[in-house]
Chains A and B, each alone.
Chain A
Amino acid sequence: MALLQKIVTWARLKSPWILHFNSGACNACDIEIVASLTPQYDVERFGVQLKGTPRHADVLVCSGPVTRQIKDRLIRIYEQMPQPKFVVAVGTCACSGGVFKGCYNVTAGIDTVIPVSAYIPGCPASPTAIIDGVVKLLASLEATEEKAPEPVAAEE
């Protein structure tokens, strides 16, 4: 069993599948997330692959300050993901509400709704920052393996 668990962990680290979800962002972080998947930055080098459904995803990549409309949907998507699951907050407004803090229709950041494993600040977070965040998350998973990882922050 321990061997099987080791293989599963190894596979997970070598190929984390991500789900991108826009939780009320301005699209800037979203196009930077897509840019990090395309040839110039190519996050697929680290085995990262974009998936269409939460049921296939290990990592939920979220951008946006979480509007009231999207809040329930975000929670639902998070609940649909299989364990163990990790959330990456991309962009300043996903980390803390950013420029939208104080707007009547937003909650301030992803971590007010669901637990976040990695924070990537920047408005928008550049593809290099996103890659840095993803690699740091993977490194922290490697270190802790089965334990729930501490939140990490990428450099802007």
Chain B
Amino acid sequence: MGKNPEPRGVRVAIGPQHPALKEPESFSVLLAGEKILESGVRLGYNHRGIEKACEERTYVQDLYLIERICGICSHSHSTAFISAVEEIAGLEIPRRAKYLRMLIGELERVHSHLLWLGVAGHEVGFDTLLMYTWRDREVVMDLLAALTGNRVNYGVNTMGGVRRDVSEDQKKQVLTAVDILEERTKYYIGVATQETTLIQRLSGVGKLNHEDAIHLGAVGPTARASSVKRDVRKDDPYLAYDEIPFNVVTSDHNDIYGRAVVRCLELMESYNMIRFIIANMPEGPIAVKAPRKVPAGEAISRYEAPRGEDVHYVRANGSEKPERVKVRAPTLANVQVVSHMLKDGYLADLPIVVAAIDPCFSCTDRMIAVAGDMAAINMGGTAFPGCADAGSKARATWEQVRQHGIEFYRRRGVDFARLNETFTAGGR
């Protein structure tokens, strides 16, 4: 175990299959009694190789593949990707298309936050809340099915705009549904802020103070619950978010209770945004004609997914297929925070602490390849498959990538070495 002697305690492995985890990921926690001394997370069970597959498919095919990075924030990924492609291609999409993308995006946020509220209830043994929120979530699911043709993975984006228009009838349907949901959300805000069981179970658990949230690079509701006013919709408006009035909800509770409150209040903001979008929907076409080939260039696009900032990088080479696609999903930014929050907490809090960042490991499991000086050292047989494209570039082994990551963060003042010791080196 290297330089650091193993602290005394019992090591418990949680996952990849565990009743509290809905996705395969594995945690290793070192316990002293009920107390967590340190924890480590092992990712990669969901890695499918989407980024590499994107390079072998056309932009329109990629759109459907990128959408399936994650089924919960599918519209976030597809919008972030296609915005980058449209930027390279120099396409200006019609205003109505922007509004339609925002409409689906906000409805997606509503379904995702309601889903989280239910899961959070489930993780603390409050299954009634799960059943209530998931029943109400069906209202927005039906709405998404009516607007896009599918409950999840909407497939509504296309290069140059959107594929489906919204009729007057559907607008009325949206408004009615939003009224119902608002009514129910007020009830949940009441539950979250007044129900003693929930308050006592959530407050003071999974503490993350303001400085640490910034230091560890938390994003989305996790950061906003530590009063970090960070929201891409406000900071770097994409689509037409600069035209919509809304507040960035923050909380100074610094714990899971705060995260629940932030998400509940964000639901209310989303309802108002949806009403504004419906009322101010511009007339006009919903898409412009897009070329099959995209000129050489590169672009980065940022998108505020329900879980936080989603970053997509696309490099085009003038053909009909991208040269490189890179995705930084919000959970990757938040997963470091989990180890920090678990420290000195109790084992029984682990499920809710992990659930509190609203983790999405299918978003997160991307491949990282390191080229440059380090890659010049020879790397043996175990290669990163994604690296194999460039003939001259050597490949880095897992151990080298790991060391590079540790050094990189150590220079920034964050020491993950101790956390990573939890997993033996080279254990891919």
Using a CB–CB cutoff of 8 Å, the interface residues on chain A facing chain B are 20-32, 34-35, 38-40, 51-54, 64-65, 67, 69-70, 73, 77, 93, 99-100, 102-106, 123-124, 126
Determine whether the beta carbon of A124 is less than 8 Å from that of B152: yes
Q: Is B65 an interface residue (CB 8 A)?
A: yes
Binds A, one of B28-36, B43-51, B410-418: B43-51
| Among candidates B48, B65, B137, residue contacting A67 with C-beta atoms closer than 8 Å | B48
Q: Is B53 an interface residue (CB 8 A)?
A: yes
| Among candidates B24, B45, B48, B72, residue contacting A65 with C-beta atoms closer than 8 Å | B48
Determine whether the beta carbon of A67 is less than 8 Å from that of B71: no
Residue in chain A with minimal CB distance to B50: A103
| Among candidates B47, B53, B362, residue contacting A69 with C-beta atoms closer than 8 Å | B47
In the assembled complex, the Cα of A38 lies from the Cα of B65 at a distance in Å of 29
Determine whether the beta carbon of B52 is less than 8 Å from that of A39: no
| In the complex, chain A residues whose CB is within 8 Å of the CB of B118 | 38
In the assembled complex, the Cα of A99 lies from the Cα of B23 at a distance in Å of 19
> Could you name 9 residue pairs across A and B whose Cβ atoms are closer than 8 Å?
A22-B23, A23-B24, A25-B46, A26-B362, A28-B153, A30-B71, A35-B134, A70-B45, A103-B49
Using a CB–CB cutoff of 8 Å, the interface residues on chain B facing chain A are 16-19, 22-24, 44-50, 52-53, 56, 64-65, 68-72, 74, 115, 118, 130-131, 134-135, 137-138, 141, 151-153, 360, 362, 385
In the assembled complex, the Cα of A70 lies from the Cα of B49 at a distance in Å of 14
Determine whether the beta carbon of A69 is less than 8 Å from that of B151: no
| In the complex, chain B residues whose CB is within 8 Å of the CB of A93 | 68
Determine whether the beta carbon of A67 is less than 8 Å from that of B152: no
In the assembled complex, the Cα of A58 lies from the Cα of B158 at a distance in Å of 42
Interface-centre pick from A21, A27, A40, A124 (highest chain B CB count, 10 A): A27
In the assembled complex, the Cα of A18 lies from the Cα of B17 at a distance in Å of 14
| In the complex, chain A residues whose CB is within 8 Å of the CB of B48 | 24, 65, 67, 100, 103, 105-106
| In the complex, chain B residues whose CB is within 8 Å of the CB of A21 | 17, 24
In the assembled complex, the Cα of A100 lies from the Cα of B56 at a distance in Å of 12
Determine whether the beta carbon of A124 is less than 8 Å from that of B64: no
Known: A23-B24, A99-B68. A28 touches B152 (CB 8 A): yes
Determine whether the beta carbon of B45 is less than 8 Å from that of A28: no
Residue in chain B with minimal CB distance to A106: B48
Known: A22-B22, A27-B70. A35 touches B46 (CB 8 A): no
In the assembled complex, the Cα of A103 lies from the Cα of B68 at a distance in Å of 13
In the assembled complex, the Cα of A34 lies from the Cα of B133 at a distance in Å of 12
| In the complex, chain A residues whose CB is within 8 Å of the CB of B70 | 26-28
In the assembled complex, the Cα of A106 lies from the Cα of B65 at a distance in Å of 14
In the assembled complex, the Cα of A52 lies from the Cα of B18 at a distance in Å of 7
Known: A24-B48, A69-B44, A69-B45. A34 touches B71 (CB 8 A): no
| In the complex, chain A residues whose CB is within 8 Å of the CB of B135 | 38-40
Known: A67-B47, A103-B49. A53 touches B19 (CB 8 A): yes
In the assembled complex, the Cα of A24 lies from the Cα of B22 at a distance in Å of 11
In the assembled complex, the Cα of A77 lies from the Cα of B118 at a distance in Å of 27
| Among candidates B47, B71, B141, B385, residue contacting A27 with C-beta atoms closer than 8 Å | B71
In the assembled complex, the Cα of A90 lies from the Cα of B71 at a distance in Å of 14
In the assembled complex, the Cα of A28 lies from the Cα of B141 at a distance in Å of 12
Determine whether the beta carbon of B151 is less than 8 Å from that of A40: no
| Among candidates A34, A73, A102, residue contacting B24 with C-beta atoms closer than 8 Å | A73
**Other than the known A24-B24, A38-B131, what 14 A-B pairs have Cβ atoms closer than 8 Å?**
A25-B71, A25-B362, A26-B153, A27-B22, A27-B360, A28-B153, A35-B134, A38-B135, A52-B19, A54-B17, A70-B46, A77-B17, A105-B47, A124-B152
